[in-house]
Chains A and B, each alone.
Chain A
Amino acid sequence: MMGNREVRLMQGNEACVEGALAAGMRFYAGYPITPSTEIAEICAQKLPLVGGKFIQMEDEIAGMAATIGGSLAGLKSMTATSGPGFSLKQENIGYAALTETPCVVVNVQRYGPSTGLPTSPAQGDIMQAKWGTHGDHPVIALSPTSVRETFDLTIKAFNLSEKYRLPVFLMLDEIVGHMREKIEIPNKEDIEIFNRLKPEKDSSEYKAYEIKENEFVPRMAAFGDGFKFHVTGLMHDESGFPTNDSQISDKLLRRIMSKVDDNVDDIVMYEEEFMDDAELVVLAYGGTYRSARSAVKEARRLGYKVGLFKPLTLWPSPDKKIKDLNEKTGKILVAELNLGQYFSEVERIVSDKSSLYKLCKVTGEAITPNEILTKIREVL
């Protein structure tokens, strides 16, 4: 029913909040930071209207901690930040990973390191999303390229976090976060929502980290549901209590890693275009993808055999697909607003390193279609 759908002009950051609300977010805790602040502002305005809770915490670390607290108390929770705040949140992100607490962490990336260029776009936190906190931990990171995709992937981020019980990163960049586009908001009944599985009400023997038969994540009670259970950032057994046992620790860490490793096909999303007969494929994500698409279209018009690949899931990376691209197409050009972070992942995946090219830019400005087109001509 096209006529019923709401059509609006909005910013990526606003679409993120709309997506989160549609996914059932009812708790937001954060700290103001450019260029993510609109997400906090819009949450502050909209959450009480639906009975949800917003709190501006005293710092980034507290924002992450309170977000986890909100989730443990049973609400779908989110926080948003940018580079410096993402750095500060890392310890508690690891806590969410080990305690298997679902939440969504939005990072509207800006130019860094340090304070960098706070209002300028960058994609410099791609590797931090993967390796930012200490120890091995499962990671899911999504990267939208448009306002509508921001809406959709925010919902997806919540669904994945609830399904796999882990913090999910939504890696925006300043381009997508602040860009305004017309978007059509899908009807509520067309939106797929996944809610965390709860223990059965009468299960007196609830073990907070026990895996039921035919399930692969522990069922999650909220504090106050009537189960008195323990949650700790120490290595723990299936009852949730701390242990020093090497075998149990090993089993726990491997299990939480396997949630992502064994379900890559369910988690990984990507799109490709112009792939028939392509001799070079341009790989780009986030805001950079938009320039890449213009460049590829123009290159095609000029007769170059160029394809376009957009990973919507950055972590886990679409290994199989990238290997396949390399084998079928040959050359891959990675364009990104950093000095080669995702490029190094592509390099890890493909065997023929000589077929890889990169276009990196760190001036604090977006990569233009023309720059990508020039690079395409150079390569072909």
Chain B
Amino acid sequence: MSSELISNNFRMDKLPHIWCPGCGHGIIMRSLAKAIDNLKLDKSKVCVVSGIGCSSRAPGYMDFNTLHTTHGRALAFATGIKLANPDLEVIVITGDGDCSAIGGNHLIHASRRNIGITTILFNNNIYGMTGGQYSPTTPNKSYGTTAPFGNIDKPFDICKLADAAGATYVARGTAYHANQLIKIIEKSIQNNGFSLVDAISVCPTYYGRKNKKGSSVDMLNEIKDMTIDIKTAEKLPLDKYKDKLLIGEFKNTEQPEYTAEYQKIINRFKKER
């Protein structure tokens, strides 16, 4: 037996998943399923697309139309799917390396086009599948197997990146704040345009061990301590929260959606025919 949420939205014969004990990805994947369930979407019209990495194994467990593509390219595949059939609710699951390193170009341009795709970034600050190399979201001075002397790179704020590139819905949630994350994902799916949800995960096996972060529980508690909701922060002087990571909804605007704009071109010629 399992909960109704799980048995109604997952491929039960594929569970338990491959992720390590305490991996935050399971919490985020459940939050996504819960959001889809709450919105009562037609499951046969939901298409979940991923790239390569720990995060990208998620679609294999989820009982929808699912596509596990090549490293970094989920958004490019998803763009083809969404344009070919705009009736599909296209959701991309990606990781920090997949989305912002090898796939960074596709993130920028999917944001710019404002194509109706919801991207859930399972952000664990590390390349987990390959064993703990630093990623574009690994904090400065943190350790990875390829940053043995401390990371000298500066990390991306992927929310700011997506915002600047033109995404119309941008938010950050966390595996700790799972109830809030569910609400954020619901709204990101409802947005008629490109949505980016930076979902902060925890990787106790690689990031945690290498950086002496303790257990998964310790890492989730650290998320609680290091984050502040943007609505709370807005009421405080900057020095009260300048070292904290902002979470919550950063942007929710309306702009023309790409596939709808393309349909207008098609319709123009329909009238002429």
Interface on A for B, CB 8 Å cutoff? 26-27, 29, 48-49, 51, 53, 55, 57-59, 61-62, 65-75, 77, 91-92, 95, 222-234, 241-242
Contacts and interface: CB of A to CB of B under 8 A. Distances in A.
A58 B45 CA distance: 27
A57 B79 contact: yes
A228 B64 contact: yes
Interface of B is mostly: helix
Given A223-B67, A228-B63, 14 more contacts: A29-B79, A53-B262, A61-B76, A62-B105, A65-B77, A65-B80, A66-B76, A69-B49, A69-B76, A69-B84, A72-B77, A228-B65, A234-B68, A242-B68
A90 to B, nearest CB: 11
Contact of B68 (A29, A48, A66, A233): A233
A110 to B, nearest CB: 24
A69 B70 contact: no
A70 B68 contact: no
A62 B65 contact: no
A84 to B, nearest CB: 16
Contacts of A51: 266, 270
Interface string B61-74: 00111111110010
Contacts of B49: 69
A265 to B, nearest CB: 33
A73 B73 contact: no
Interface in B76-109: 76-85, 87-88, 105-106, 108-109
A62 B68 contact: no
B83 A66 contact: yes
A224 B64 contact: no
A142 B101 CA distance: 36
A74 B106 contact: no
Contacts of A77: 80, 84
A-B pairs with lowest CB-CB distance, top 3 = A69-B80, A66-B80, A65-B76
B67 A27 contact: no
Nearest to B83: A53
Q: Which of A68, A74, A224 has the most CB of B within 10 A?
A: A224
B196 interface: no
B73 A62 contact: yes
B265 interface: yes
A330 B49 CA distance: 55
B15 to A, nearest CB: 12
A57 B266 contact: no
Contact of B70 (A48, A92, A225): A92
Contacts of B265: 48
B269 interface: yes
B44 interface: yes
Contacts of A29: 79-80, 83
A52 B108 CA distance: 25
A70 B80 contact: yes
A226 B80 contact: no
Contact of A69 (B78, B108, B262): B78
Nearest to B72: A61
B43 A228 contact: yes
Contacts of A65: 69-70, 73, 76-77, 79-80
B80 A224 contact: no
A53 B79 CA distance: 12
B109 A62 contact: yes
